[in-house]
Structure 1
Amino acid sequence: MAIHDSVLELIGGTPIVRLRNFTVHNGGQVLVKVESANPGRSIKDRAAHFMIEQAESSGRLRPGDTIVESTSGNLGKSLALIGAAKGYRVILVVDPKTPVSVLRYAKALGAEIELVDTPDESGGYQRQRLERVRQLRAGDPRVFWPDQYRNPDNPRIHAEHTAGEVLSDLPAFDALVASVSTGGHISGLSRMLKGKLPGLTTIAVDAAGSAAFGFPFRGYAMRGLGLAWKPGNLDLSVVDRVHLVDDHEGIATSRALARREGVLVGESAGAAVFAALHHAHHNPGSRILAVAADDGANYLGESFDDDWLRERGLAAVLDDAALREPDRLVELARCPAHPAVPVESLRAEEDRDDGLNHAA
């Protein structure tokens, strides 16, 4: 076994696991890339490390500088880890939806926390978080903002490295399913994988209530996916279908994966697997790769806690038999609350709205 000079050398090389108990009986197969095997316990380690390395090589980030970022959780953990390993001061701008375990992890690694607790007019916090980042950066050249939402190095690392890692373990498959937050990993992965696998179908998974794909923002309970606006790193040209997942569907699936597969993953991973099952129902014989972006340990005090669910009106996850067992969840995925739709239909709707706005 190799001896590493830094914990950051452990980023990447995450495993793919075949699901045994979540089976659509038509020859379909759902596999999961488990990104919680990264040292910071999420796929964000890859983007955070690459963005910091590129900033260092270009001179935008120098020894003694401060890193500031807006985050709902996982990128903050990754930056805290990198800051500890490389000696940077790290300030994370978060909001009340950030899991307590994430904050404790980041603080343990020396990161400083700035809490934004006033929502904007839509009820979201992202715009307020970004405004606080701008205030912290104002006039100080020694403060670096990775800007995970628009930084092209975010999708680039997945195109240049993560995709090759996938193909090394899984040279042929039919569909990629990944959740969307910044848009980085789905855009980078899909762009490169489609070049190698021309028949690949890419399904983007978002929270019902998110505005990342142009739908009205109305909020949601799941973490790790969704935004109040379309992120700059989301490339719709490499996405074929969009599947909006309700809170109870994604959270119930993540809990069942833990209990029946021993795979403890986050809410966005539950949503991705649920969407993968939906695709499997309607595409017999498909081999589907779902990206499990983060670790369920982030949410042990939240969506894995029964009282937390009841307090947020999600008691059905506990009480409805259809949401507790893999075979029932698999069947539920056949006709979910929001079936996947072609991305072309979203573009057509955007064009129609633009035409109405110009006419007005």
Structure 2
Amino acid sequence: MTETFQSEIELSIADPLTEAPDRTVALARHPRLREFADRLGDTPLVEVPGPPGGARIMAKYEFTNPFGSVKDRTAFALVCRAIATHTGPEPLRLLDASAGNMARALAGIGELAGIPMRLVVPAVIPPSLLTAIEKTGAEVELADAAGGLLGMIKVCEGIAARDPGLTPLVQHRNMANIAAHEFGTGAEILQQLGEDRPAAWVGAIGTGGTLAGVYRALRGRSPELLVAGVTPSEMPYGTERAPHSEPRFAGAGGFGNGLRQPFIDTQLPGAAHHHVPYAEALHGMLEYRRQTGTSIGASAAAAWLSAKKVAAQLDPDQIVVTLFADAGPEEDWQRAEQLAS
């Protein structure tokens, strides 16, 4: 079964980049991106509640980025690379598939830069997020949720074949994805840790770009770094199950049909994997807010719950680093409150 679906989408990747994509050309051609670029990154690294007697947990608060998620970094890196390498006489038009946050970031950047965006998103995308995307003027195509991420990628590839004037960003294979987090997110974490050495790095998988990029940065200081990727129990990394529309926390599911995210498969073949049910992630959102007064999204809550499990196996003088991708859409908070009641 895997070979059949492998032939339908391309999962090969190039070698990692040796530096972050250059912003110079993008900022020169699109000055309205400067304010966004100035506000991007330098997000707080905060000590968060951990298990009694276990390692400390430090979480990167990525929901403080301009459009509210870690995908702001990825989107900007991919767009900067596309602008710098665009050689055609026709205006640059961009295309990608996303479960939500990446589409929001691309739409916002496209609006600022005046670059047309065509975005493929699942039909079950939270209405509040879809509204925010559509307000930017981006062209949105809703893909059948039953097809999962694999289905969205196939829709995206079909659009690109019919309209060769579009430039596909292909976030799940574009090496600017890893570079954004190796030379951005990961470098910031090392600076914020001071002289401390992280013992473990735990994060939602998604495309794998954040998990792999931060790992590449942290391993320079901690060669024995433990790594754990987090995916939904309903659609975990590498699952043989076919894509489906069963509810789960967004942005971190597997492709289905045995396919594996290439960034994880090539850069982190030995990573551990934690699978968190959607209901548990929703409960984690409420529990984290109760303990800290701060709102985090479902994938962030899943990362926190998994980080606590890893920290419980380590000593109190060690550090587990994790990342909270967003603060969650209002629809997830409504579900969490309903579940609690």
TM-score normalized with structure 1 length:
0.77
Residue 178 of structure 1 pairs with residue 210 of structure 2: no
Residue 168 of structure 1 pairs with residue 200 of structure 2: no
Residue 98 of structure 1 pairs with residue 129 of structure 2: no
Q: Distance in 1 between matches of 2:286 and 2:220?
A: 35
Q: Which runs of 5+ in 2 are unaligned?
A: 1-32
Q: Which runs of 4+ in 1 moved over 3 A?
A: 60-63, 214-220, 235-240
What's the RMSD between the two structures over aligned residues? 2.3
Paired residue secondary structure (2:81): helix
The one of 223, 241, 249 equivalent to 2:280 is: 249
Please report how far the alpha carbon of residue 277 of structure 1 lies from its aligned counterpart in structure 2 after TM superposition: 0.7
Superposed counterparts of 1:37-186, under 5 Å: 37-59=64-86, 64-117=91-144, 119=146, 124-171=147-194, 172-186=197-211
AA aligned opposite 1:153: A
Check whether the contact 1:208–1:220 (CA below 8 A) recurs between aligned residues: no
- Residue 51 to residue 63, structure 1, CA distance change in 2 (3 Å): farther
Question: Which residue of structure 1 lines up, in the alignment, with residue 16 of structure 2?
Answer: none
Question: Which residue of structure 1 lines up, in the alignment, with residue 39 of structure 2?
Answer: 10
Paired residue secondary structure (1:233): helix
Residue 305 of structure 1 pairs with residue 329 of structure 2: no
Q: Which runs of 5+ in 1 are unaligned?
A: 320-360
Check whether the contact 2:95–2:168 (CA below 8 A) recurs between aligned residues: yes
Check whether the contact 1:61–1:144 (CA below 8 A) recurs between aligned residues: no
Please report how far the alpha carbon of residue 191 of structure 1 lies from its aligned counterpart in structure 2 after TM superposition: 1.8
When the two structures are aligned, how many residues end up with a matched partner? 301
Residue 233 of structure 1 pairs with residue 263 of structure 2: yes
The one of the two structures with greater contact order (alpha-carbon pairs below 8 A, sep at least 6) is 2
Q: Distance in 2 between matches of 1:24 and 1:186?
A: 23
Larger Rg over CA atoms: 1
TM-score normalized with structure 2 length:
0.81
- Residue 118 to residue 30, structure 1, CA distance change in 2 (3 Å): closer
Please report how far the alpha carbon of residue 14 of structure 1 lies from its aligned counterpart in structure 2 after TM superposition: 0.7
AA aligned opposite 1:145: P
With 69-78 and 233-242 compared, the bigger mean Cα shift is at 233-242
Please report how far the alpha carbon of residue 118 of structure 1 lies from its aligned counterpart in structure 2 after TM superposition: 6.0
AA aligned opposite 1:304: W
Residue 273 of structure 1 pairs with residue 273 of structure 2: no
Paired residue secondary structure (1:82): helix
Superposed counterparts of 1:309-320, under 5 Å: 315=339, 318=340
Paired residue secondary structure (1:269): helix
Check whether the contact 2:202–2:307 (CA below 8 A) recurs between aligned residues: yes
